[in-house]
Each structure stands twice: as structure tokens, then as C-alpha cells.
Amino acid sequence: MSLVEAAREARDKAYAPYSQFKVGAAIRAVSGAVYQGVNVENVAYPEGTCAEAGAIAAMVLGGETEIAEVAVIADSPAPVPPCGGCRQKLAEFAAREVKVTLATTRGEVLETTVGALLPGAFGAGHMTGPSDAGPLDAGPSDSGM
């Protein structure tokens, strides 16, 4: 099964009774194992969770912490990118060059990378304490700023 197919399978199980906007995600860890996630809404909107966050949680529960590839699918006219919070979550576990496939249930596909989705990402390098590095030199970003 392809990663997009795994995301599609997950999407079918999403819990989205309020927006009706179901999203599925699948992550391939460096081991090759695939972890799926779905968006889960809550009546106390916006207290739900995103599909990407669910897939990351499943990966961590599976004992892994390094993403090799990501796929996200939704029923929309154009591929839907992860929200800002999920972009940061993906950047926590994936190198900038990790491929992210964004797909629709209608067959449209857009391929990008974690780095392209979140240029200038905040990273652990920003938390090393006082240094002489400038604010844009402290982290792993190569956003060209």
C-alpha cells in the first residue's frame, strides 16, 4: 500500500461531525513502518486534533522519532497543506528534505518538503542558551533570510 493510500484509508475513519472536513495522514518512519492519523473534532471547537499530530503520536507510541516521508489527504478541490502547528510538529521529527505528499480524494497530488512548508523553522538550536549567534543563525533553517 502506498503512503497516500494509507492516508486515504485513515481519512475514512476521521471524526469530523462539525466541519465534515475529514483529513487523513500517514507517516513512514525511517524503519519503514507506517503510522496513520486522523483529525478528531470536539464540540469545544477548536479543541480537536489534526491528522498529522495523530500520526506523529502513533509513531512515537511505536517507539520511533524520525520521519522519512509524509502523506496528507483531504476531500478538497486542491491539496491541503498542514496547519502551522502541524508544520512545526513535522519539523520536530523530520529533516528539511523529507518529502511531503499532499493529495485530494479526487486524485490531485502536490509534492513538497518539510523545509518548503516551514522555512525558518524554530528548532532545538534556538534553545542552546546565550550565544553570539544572531536570531536567524541559531537554528537549522536555511531559509535564505
Q: Report the binding-site residues.
A: 39-45, 50, 83, 86
Structural domain harbouring 121 = 3-127
Q: Grid coordinates 486515504 are at which residue?
A: 8
Task: Check 52, 64, 92, 97 and give the catalytic one.
Answer: 52
Q: Report the binding-site residues for Zn(2+).
A: 50, 83, 86
Answer yes or no: 92 catalytic: no
Residue 136 covered by a domain: no
Give the span between the Cα atoms of 25 and 3, in whole angstroms.
9
Q: Report the binding-site residues for substrate.
A: 39-45
pTM: 0.86
Q: Helices 84-93 and 51-61, interaxial angle, to 10°?
A: 20
Residue 68 covered by a domain: yes
Domain tally, the chain: 1
How many angstroms separate the Cα of 44 from the Cα of each of 40, 49, 91, 103? Answer: 12, 12, 28, 28
Give me the tens of pLDDT residue by residue for the chain, a chain 145 residues long. Answer: 899 999 999 999 999 999 999 999 999 999 999 999 999 999 998 899 999 999 999 999 999 999 999 999 999 999 999 999 999 999 999 999 999 999 999 999 999 999 999 998 888 888 886 655 555 444 444 433 3
Residue 123 covered by a domain: yes
Cell output for 63: 517507539
Cell output for 61: 507510541
Q: What is the dihedral of CA 92, 124, 83, 42, to 10 degrees?
A: 80
| Domain CATH code at residue 113 | 3.40.140.10
Q: Grid coordinates 543563525 are at which residue?
A: 137
